[in-house]
Amino acid sequence: MPSTTGGYPTESLARVGPPDQQKAQEIRAEFLHAWNGYRRNAWGHDELLPVSGRYREFFSRRHPVGLSIVEALDTHYVMGLDDEVARSLDWIRSRLDLDVDADFQVFETIIRLVGGLLAGYLATGEAELLARCVDLADRVLPAFTMSPTGMPYRHVNLRTGAVSGAEVPLAEIGTNILEWGVLSRLTGDSRYYEAAKRALAAVVARRSDLDLLGTTMNVESGQWADGADIAPNPPTDSFYEYLWGGWAMFGDAECLNWFRIFDASLKKHLAERVGGLLWFKQVDHRTGELLGRRQSSLAVAILPVGGDNALAADYFRSWTAVQDTYTVIPELIDYSRLTVLSPGNALRPEYANCAFELYGHTGDPFYRDTAWRYFQNLRTHHRVPGGYTTVTDVTKRPMAKGDHCPAYVFAENFKWLYLTFADAPRFDYTNGYLSTEGKILRGLRHPQ
């Protein structure tokens, strides 16, 4: 791994302006409302169905892994909910079983379970969490090592190590260097970081002459299965975020160079303005030919990395216009007319994520104001007696609700909002670094 001697090579977040503890406590209370619904009706299972009071499993129908418990660990810690930290640790010690004869999605396993166990370990120092994390990582590693290109297969059986799924979206190939790198740093075992780096390098080597990338890769043949460059939309989004992360967290200059290559190509070939708002079109990665003008709500969180605050702020204002139009941001829009293409909202945290980052980088109170509106809309339209649930149609009044609380809600939405308004003594606002799944991988403090 690259050395980080002498400090971290990244722009820092800073506590800029006084905390608003009243708002922070309101956010904390709503997190607890969501969490208590999970504890009552889904404890030990992966995800809560808060309207019906039931639950569902995320990876394997037959074998829960307490996904919401693992996702929530560092959120409990940073909010000072020590009883919940202890309760969660007890469940993990006594009940978490990762010897599962089932195919787990590699990407989700890394950002959610590996990342959650890592963040929990960094928060608590509980050795059992790191041991479980190493065990899980070793079960996932065959997805990388058995691939002829070094780019991971999409699925791996946690018990047998059998791999499957050769056609893999870009984000799923490249969103692992943060978690793998922290694990290598903590254990002294370089295998994890090296596997992540090989996967990134293999993608970069297959960029077009325009320095653009496709959407889906066949990891066995090394050929693009889809030639559309749709950055910064999913399922390519966090690939770019983690290139920057390789530099910001580990001082990897090669990752920085790769990030700059794609950052320049995105601005040159994809960025455009419609109605005075900044958006990113979809193009053929070989020719630059226009393919579409769709935009996913997940894309807003990608631009704050890399230090171009002006560009990120411009794009955030585009999504603020969407929030102002629909109150709750829909999953997918046609940005040429700001019309809705997919009317649901799966409790997406990306807008709050972006507000936190830009407030920390700029100190502009605009980002707190918009984050608070997001929270108020979240509370108004997603809250139900049993917790928080998805919305199926943001264009209806009242908004039609689903029956699902994704586990990432406990890792992301409320944490981003809480940190934006609180002066959390357990978080280092100067050097903190969070993963794409909202896991605090650097900057957890342990006050005396």
Mean pLDDT estimate for the chain = 96
Give the pLDDT confidence score for residue 447 in this predicted structure. 81
pLDDT surpassing 60 at residue 5: no
Helix, strand or coil, per DSSP, at residue 65: coil
Q: For 411, phi and psi rounded to 5 degrees?
A: -95, -30
Confidence of residue 15 (pLDDT cuts 50, 70, 90): low
**pLDDT tens profile 67-124:** 999 999 999 999 999 999 999 999 999 999 999 999 999 999 999 999 999 999 999 9
Give the pLDDT confidence score for residue 3 in this predicted structure. 44
Check residues 330 and 448 and name the one with the higher pLDDT.
330
Cis-peptide, bond into residue 232, ω within 30° of zero: yes
From 291-295, 306-310, 385-389, the region with the lowest mean pLDDT: 306-310
Confidence of residue 148 (pLDDT cuts 50, 70, 90): very high
In the chain the first and final C-alpha atoms are separated, in Å, by 32
pLDDT surpassing 90 at residue 12: no
Task: Give mean pLDDT, residues 288-312.
Answer: 96
Helix, strand or coil, per DSSP, at residue 152: coil
pLDDT surpassing 80 at residue 129: yes
Give the pLDDT confidence score for residue 101 in this predicted structure. 98
Task: Give mean pLDDT, residues 374-400.
Answer: 97
Give the pLDDT confidence score for residue 17 in this predicted structure. 76
Give the pLDDT confidence score for residue 2 in this predicted structure. 59
Tokens of 339: 């019309």
Give the pLDDT confidence score for residue 104 in this predicted structure. 98
Confidence of residue 4 (pLDDT cuts 50, 70, 90): very low
Name residues whose C-beta falls within 8 Å of residue 288's C-beta, 6 or more positions apart in sequence: 210, 212, 269
Q: In Å, what is the CA distance from 347 to each residue of 193, 352, 397?
A: 31, 11, 18
pLDDT surpassing 90 at residue 11: no
Check residues 60 and 17 and name the one with the higher pLDDT.
60
Give the pLDDT confidence score for residue 10 in this predicted structure. 44
Give the pLDDT confidence score for residue 1 in this predicted structure. 66
Name residues whose C-beta falls within 8 Å of residue 388's C-beta, 6 or more positions apart in sequence: 30, 33, 34, 37, 50, 347, 378, 382, 405, 409
Q: Which of 227, 201, 202, 204 is nearest to 216 (CA)?
A: 227
